[in-house]
Amino acid sequence: MQDNSLYDMENSLLEDALDADPQADRILEGLNESQHEAVSSELRNMLIIAGAGTGKTRVLVSRIAWLIKHFHIAPRNIMAVTFTNKAATEMRERLALMVGNSVQMSLWANTFHSICLRLLRAYASYAGLIPGFTILDTDSQVSLVKRLMKDMNIDTKEFKPSDIASNISKQKENGIRALAFSKMISAKSPDYVKVTSQVYNVYERVCNQENSVDFSELLLRTVELLENNQEIRELQHRRFKEILVDEFQDTNAIQYRFLRLIAGPDSHVLVVGDDDQSIYGWRGADVSNMRKFLKDFSNVKEVLLALNYRSTQKILDVANTIIGFNSDRLMEKVLKGNFGEGEKVRILNCANNKTESSAVSERIASLHESGVAYRDIAILYRNNYLSLDFEQTLLRKHIPFVIYGGQKFFERAEILDAIAYMRILVNEDDDTALLRIINTPSRKIGPKVVDGLRTIANERNCSLIKAMRLLEAHVHSDNVDKTLASLYKKVAVFCDLLKVLKEKKESLSLSAFADEMLRITGLYQFYQEKDFKEGKDNEEHSRYANLGMLISNIKEFESNSTAPAVSDESAPESTADSDEKKEEDPLLTYLSNITLVSTGELNEDGETASGTDAVNLMTMHSSKGLEFKYVFLVGFEKDILPSRMCAFSDKSLAEERRLAYVGVTRAKTALYISYSQNRSLFGKVEATGASSFLRELVREYKGKHDVPLTIESISSASYY
């Protein structure tokens, strides 16, 4: 390692500047006793168990401000990990108000994936990557898996590429590479496991060839980088003195491994979580990480936040009762409210699903007539298919609504096409991107031409673009093969297009280049004509209009980019981080940012939907982290919640109960829980009835005087 005097000097200068700040104690103003304890605690490892609506974001932000203002920790020595980009942005904005924008800009406040990307950009060569590597979004990952499966003659109808891609990601999240996974396979292994292993081996090799990484690879490769390179690991240990992690109950195995590696012997780690809100076990989240933290980190201080600032007490009483039946809780917490008793929770016992949707829609109409904005109302359900009845009824009643979880802006075909052109301009080895747009719009480059290119690429062990260059060189040589000359003639138009795009990229601003790219490639005209043929040319969200919105998104990115997203020019010099001195290609930075944006945070416009005055429809899983004045929990019935899939698993049953708890605690002012006695599913009417969770709840209050709920039976005749 080189001398760290510059590193120490920077911290000393910042400490001197902060020493003069007399306003540190203002950070503690307005905090309750538990919050005050968490924020002002001495420097040490901490586990903050934060119940729903107890102000954990305020505590996290205030703790970071306290570290800077009171303990004089340099912002660049602080890492704050969030689970969504939206949460990271909110944290930075709130910090800017407390400590100043210039100070907060130098700390790392990002998601796990963004932080790992930042480290991999800085140490690409040490991680076995070429600088400028691209990130495969979910669509690109599935496309690549599908292509490989077809090459391997694996039936994509019997084995869905999306399932195989998901299985590969799960192995990576458990830290298992393709070779290690193949050694775990036996003759008795299920066929889908054997197929996953076969595809995983090829997938790993092709990703390395194409210099691309998927989301899970970002984490796994960073963990391997830190494990295998002591110099880089120790540099991070000196850098990050205070590490804070939000939503800790949602961390998986590889994220926990990363946390243990990034924290040095002199670092302090503060994690905030609520085991009662751990609802993502199905995608790898491990609630036991909270217990592991107490075991693996020394001298951990535990702080409980239980004063709720969101809901009325009757809603909290229902939530406390539901979750109280779980026996695997880290500690018992009873949420106390700050907004009075409130209305009783209304349980709607409906004759059937049509009656349920009508009853809910009528109450929504009445709320709106009384002055409640539609945006303050949410309908939450366990499974997406349950939304259909409510969509149809709301439409009939002319009640506007938005659905979370549909096709998002960056998942649209026209946007994916535009992004694919951008990707090959920053990474010529990205064959997955190239194959998407080599003939979009049509250039008469059919499957036979592509197969010819792939044959050359396989023979020369190179990318398709490099294969085109070999063809171009060949046709200008003395001994020209007619077959190869014919092949080049068919792809020459695309080769020429790439050359023009590269020139434009170097001479124009990012947004001006993107606009020119859409024109030169023909995507503007292609989708304008497609809209016209389908009668969608005058629609607000036509494909052509979406391309225009992409340009607006890029302009917004330009205006908000005050520094390269992953460079860190203040870092001390070393052989390991010299790449950080280089200014990153703005196009590469933009692609990295949009690929890492959680689609769950965006509506179809690529924006948050909070500004639309419409009823919010979403699954309970999607609702986590959100809150609404009026919440309708629908389909709260047998075999739906809890799901019939977890009938024989105590672990799964506990997670389903936590999901119900999350749904209940989204409500601020009033909560409605509805269920049907009969439900039409797959063309058949089945007797359903109340969820076992609801039965537990009602039994608990039977015979008691202070009951926080009321039950209303609604017959089918009420709405017919």
Just list the catalytic residues: 56-57, 246-247, 277, 666
Calpha distance 97→95 (Å, rounded): 5
The reply to whether 56 sits in an annotated binding site is yes
The reply to whether 82 sits in an annotated binding site is no
**Cα–Cα–Cα angle for 14, 117, 435, rounded to 5 degrees:** 150
The reply to whether 635 sits in an annotated binding site is no
Find the DSSP H helices in 109-214: 112-122, 138-151, 161-173, 178-183, 191-209
The reply to whether 57 sits in an annotated binding site is yes
HSE, CB side, 13 Å, CA atoms: give it for residue 1: 16
The reply to whether 122 sits in an annotated binding site is no
CB within 8 Å of 336: residues ≥ 6 apart: 306, 307, 308, 313, 316
Q: At what angle do helices 161-173 and 138-151 cross, to 10 degrees?
A: 110
Nearest to 290 by CA among 299, 188, 282, 300: 300
DSSP structural state of residue 71: S
Residue type (1 letter), 718: S
Nearest to 405 by CA among 387, 389, 417, 418: 387
DSSP for 381-431, written as a single string: ESSGGGHHHHHHHHHHTT--EEETTS--GGGSHHHHHHHHHHHHHH-TT-H
Of all residues in the chain, what percent are helix, strand and coil, respectively (each to 5)? 55, 15, 30
Q: How many other C-beta atoms lie within 10 A of the C-beta of residue 506?
A: 8
Residue type (1 letter), 26: R
SS3 (DSSP) at 440: coil
HSE, CB side, 13 Å, CA atoms: give it for residue 235: 22
The reply to whether 51 sits in an annotated binding site is yes
Matching residue, tokens 């396979």: 185
> Which residue positions form the known binding site for ATP?
50-57
> Which residue positions form the known binding site?
50-57
